[in-house]
Chain A
Amino acid sequence: MSFFDSFEVAWSALRANLLRSILTTLGIIIGVASVIVLVAVGAGARQDVETRIASLGTNMLVVYSGSSRVRGRAGGEGTDKELSEGDLNALHNGVGGVMAISGQLNGAGSVVFGNANWTTTLSGVHPDYLTVREWPLASGRDFTPQDLRSSAKVAILGQSVVKQLFPGEDPVGTTIRIKNTPFQVVGVLSSKGSSSFGRDQDDLVLLPMTIARNQILGKSGVTPDQVGQIYIKFDNQTNLADAQEEIENLLRQRRRVKAGDEDNFNVRNLAEFMKARTEVLSTMTYLLGATSVISLIVGGIGIMNIMLVSVTERTREIGLRMAVGGRRRDIMRQFLVEAVSLCLIGGLIGTVLGVASAFIVAHAGEMAVLISPSVIFIAMGAAAVTGVFFGFFPARQAAHLNPIEALRSE
């Protein structure tokens, strides 16, 4: 019997018991749909974290000054002796593989344009800052070393600030006032979205380090040559763990940390930190996937059950088919095709349902959802495997019937 004939026979058998077939496939439908939804949600969350890792900049280390202890009370990060321009220069020249380096000195302040004003983060940075952070400009130009040397009153705006102060306008070339000092807007950053901690990374104004430190942030207790955090981007050949050790050695020396004492600074690999989160998410995705595999198994047992019923009901038909020349493998294939068809139809409906629910989840829950074609293939494959696996036993049962007894059965 050809495959097509088997399929035709299976199809008419399924259609003959339409309601039963539909109910039987429900288990598979739910199983496949949940595999697709859960994997989509898991993959979406992971992709979300991955884009955030990318938004941090790759091959990057961040140096913070440590926390000072005043009478035994820790003051928090950045309260210890500040990192200075000297530290930055030493790192630039003394550590191998540095591609770009920049400080970032943060403060807050109000920005005014016309009648509009907006309080935002003000960051003093070096000209390499956008290179280190891999943060392209949307328009305008980057800071130049000349801007830094001359304490030029120029600013680059983040997208959120542009939205607040310049709705529908191009701010490049205009003059804004920061703490009553006029600054010329020379560039606008592209959007980076929110950080993994939910902070709006686009809500900031970048200023050259010199003018920021000396005039804008100076009043809020800034020491003469501090640079805040130092972002360092390394070339691709550099091993970040080695670079981290080099930085630590150099800074311990410069900042006179005695052997055995704790560092008064921290070096962080943010990407590593985020990667750990990705791994947690991956594990969760697999766990969720495994849970839905259980529903597939339950669905498969339902299929097996109904196939056994079908074999019993059609014993006479099986006997007849054997009498007119059906071989065992023909009978076996007929019932396997029937079981697999059931599962594939369930898989198809489940896929449609799963994709639809994933979209609903994405919409309603504002969650990141990622449906990859491979998940659909895997889910359909799993359905087919379920059909073969749970259809095998009933099909074997049918194939090994004695034709005489089968013909005699009622």
Chain B
Amino acid sequence: MTALALTAPPRTPAKNAAASAKTPLIRAENVSKIYTMGDQTVRALDNVSVTIEDGDFVAIMGASGSGKSTMMNLIGALDVPTSGALYIDGRDISEMTADELAELRNRRIGFVFQQFNLLARTPAVRQVMLPLLYARPRPQDPEAMAMERLRQVGLGDRADHHPRQLSGGQQQRVAIARALVNNPKILLADEPTGALDTKTSEEIMALFCRLNDQGITVVVVTHETDIAEFARRRLTFRDGRIVDDAINTLRRTPQGGPS
């Protein structure tokens, strides 16, 4: 918390982002999410309102149970709010059908997970192709698109490798290539460095920074402060509310890694 200052809203979009101030990429309005467990109700998100502009790089922080994972699930269109409205790319996801949510995830969102979630016994290029197989219309040459993304994350020569033949950092790069293959607007990463050592973590974060510089919106959920320091903006959750929304004035700049 030391290196941060200046609580945000209303905040200005990141200077290099080609964002339109009219329609933010993500806009939450009084979003609540309530889970019922038996006769107990858990208010995972409590009246949260926040906007994330196109091209931003946001770190979502908080202890476990703070609501950060719930927020991530909503931003990822994996779930819908109990009340309130959540607009992604101008459309309220609480109004969407399951199929429409699936299509939104397919076209607009790229997921990166802590445990990589790669398919066993499947070569890297096929991992990366996966979202394209669910895209409609199906692209002409998904393999070529997948190869291009693998090259982008520096794994062009590992296309035939199975997950077991790759290091943790390489596996996460494959996962990032998979997240990017459909040209999403949002790259949504849930503890992307949680299973990686410090050096590899920084390489992965450097990759995120580079992708963000190229214009993609990055949202990283993490509980590690030094990972959050790569973001432009930091949202801190506690008990289902945003307790801190700060511009990262002392942003870490990536050292090393492919650029």
Which A residues have a C-beta under 8 Å from some C-beta of B?
1-2, 5, 12, 16, 316-317, 319-330, 403-404, 407
Contacts and interface: CB of A to CB of B under 8 A. Distances in A.
**Interface size class of chain B, counting residues whose CB lies under 8 Å from the partner chain:** 20 to 34
Interface of B: 73, 76, 78-79, 98-99, 102-103, 105-107, 111, 113, 117, 119-122, 130-131, 133-135, 138, 178, 182
A320 B76 CA distance: 12
Nearest 4 pairs of A and B residues by beta carbon = A325-B106, A325-B134, A324-B131, A327-B102
Given A1-B133, A16-B121, A323 B76 contact: yes
A327 B121 contact: no
A2 B106 CA distance: 15
Nearest to A15: B121
Nearest to A408: B69
Given A323-B78, A324-B131, A16 B120 contact: yes
Given A16-B121, A320-B117, A403-B78, A327 B133 contact: no
Contacts, number: 60
A325 B98 contact: no
13 contacts: A1-B133, A5-B133, A12-B122, A16-B120, A317-B119, A322-B78, A323-B78, A325-B107, A325-B131, A326-B134, A327-B103, A327-B134, A404-B79
A321 B135 CA distance: 12
A327 B134 CA distance: 8
Contact of A407 (B117, B120, B121, B131): B117
Contacts of A12: 121-122
Contacts of B103: 325, 327
Contacts of A404: 73, 78-79
Contacts of A325: 102-103, 105-107, 131, 134-135, 182
B75 to A, nearest CB: 12
Contacts of A327: 98-99, 102-103, 134
Contact of B105 (A1, A5, A324): A324
A262 B131 CA distance: 88
B117 A326 contact: no
Contacts of B113: 320, 407
Nearest to A5: B133
A322 B133 contact: no
A316 B116 CA distance: 11
Given A1-B133, A320-B117, A327-B99, 6 more contacts: A320-B113, A320-B130, A328-B98, A328-B102, A404-B73, A404-B79
Contacts of A320: 113, 117, 119, 130
B56 to A, nearest CB: 22
B86 to A, nearest CB: 15
Nearest to B190: A407
Contacts of B134: 1, 321, 324-327, 330
Contacts of A2: 133, 138
Contacts of B105: 322-325
A225 B219 CA distance: 113
Nearest to B115: A316
Contact of A324 (B99, B122, B130, B138): B130
A407 B116 CA distance: 11
Nearest to B76: A323
Contacts of A16: 120-121
Nearest to A330: B134
Interface centre among B98, B99, B135, by most chain A C-beta atoms within 10 angstroms, is B98
A325 B76 CA distance: 11
**A321, A323, A325, A329 pick with most chain B CB within 10 angstroms:** A325
Nearest to A317: B119
